[in-house]
Amino acid sequence: MWQLLRASKDTVAFYEPDHDGLLAHIANTTPMPSHVGVQRYWDEYAGREALLASQHQADFGSRDFLLEAHDERPALADFLQALAHSCAPRRAVLKLNRFSLRLPWLRAHLPDARILHLTREPRAAWFSSRRHLPAERWDASCELDAYDLLQWTLDLAPKLPFLASLLDRPSYSLHFALWRLSDLLGERLADFQLHLERDVHDPLGLGLERMVRAQMIDASEVTALRALIVKPRDFELPHSANYFDSLENEVNSWLDDLGLSPSFGLEPLARIRQRHLRAWRRFEPLNLGAVIAPLLQALSAARAEQTRLLRIVRELESTR
């Protein structure tokens, strides 16, 4: 979706400005082979180095993955607004991978922003996040996977303590819990929602036509943009459908008991917890904050260094 909007006229589309390792990635990261047709990620940041140096903070992408409307993160709001305003009179698109549980905050603090939520089949997303790991480690929730499942869980556990109890369950349970919470907020708070497989990858999908009606792209662009869509190769999941069904049903039952299924994003989390106190007390007392904060910082720094080293390795390989 970032690639499509990037190719749309009068648009400046920024790739993951909320990434904790953004500056390291701009300096070192080249496109993944699976991102077909992408030559560079970072062109839009050229000429904005001073803005990044003065306003971007690593903790935009390493903590507070859940932000409610009343939460105050003025530096984050200022950075996103400055990035958007730097494009005027062109339209800014911010590809925010770490905002699916921040939509209440985004709606409150950037009220003029239009929110497009792109959802994906949860089993396909789980496969994508795990495919780089050895097969015997796919089900371990504590692995460092491509979607930062562990980092998200450690940060969210003080506010959503039931997630910590899923760390000793199959990784798909944890993945599905975060996917479902993200989707609930997308359904309730986004201005526009698209389903990747049904609306975009399906040749009969009407995602682009819906974007025209929502005035996100121009009708004259549809044919050219459709040519950029590349459906991923088919894949085979390592477990049966019954396995995934069982884990999804269990997580959905928990979310119902905790009051999150009916109310998440519609009212403050504290009010939901108070009304369903007995269910929430099952997971108390989990006082993980003091342990989690330095661990998240260490993980973020390690990933930035990993990015730098990966570039060196790729450059060495390219000269052979």
Q: Which residue has the tokens 């190769």?
A: 233
Instruction: Give residue 88's pLDDT band: very low, low, confident or very high (50, 70, 90).
Output: very high
Rounded CA-CA distance 147/125 in Å is: 9
317 vs 14, higher pLDDT: 14
State both tokens at 14: 């920024």
**Other CB atoms within 10 Å distance of the CB of residue 19:** 24
Give the rounded distance of the alpha carbon of 52 from its chain centre. 21
Q: In whole numbers, what is the pLDDT of the chain averaged over residues?
A: 92
Instruction: Give residue 204's pLDDT band: very low, low, confident or very high (50, 70, 90).
Output: very high
Identify whether the C-beta of residue 59 lies closer than 8 Å to the C-beta of residue 71.
no
The helix (run of H) or strand (run of E) holding residue 191 is: none
State both tokens at 97: 């991978």
Sign of the CA dihedral running 48, 52, 55, 60: positive
The pLDDT, as a whole number, for residue 1 is: 93
The pLDDT, as a whole number, for residue 67 is: 98
Rounded CA-CA distance 130/146 in Å is: 7
Q: What is the pLDDT of residues 163-184, one digit of tens each?
A: 988 988 999 999 999 999 999 9
DSSP 3-state of 13: strand
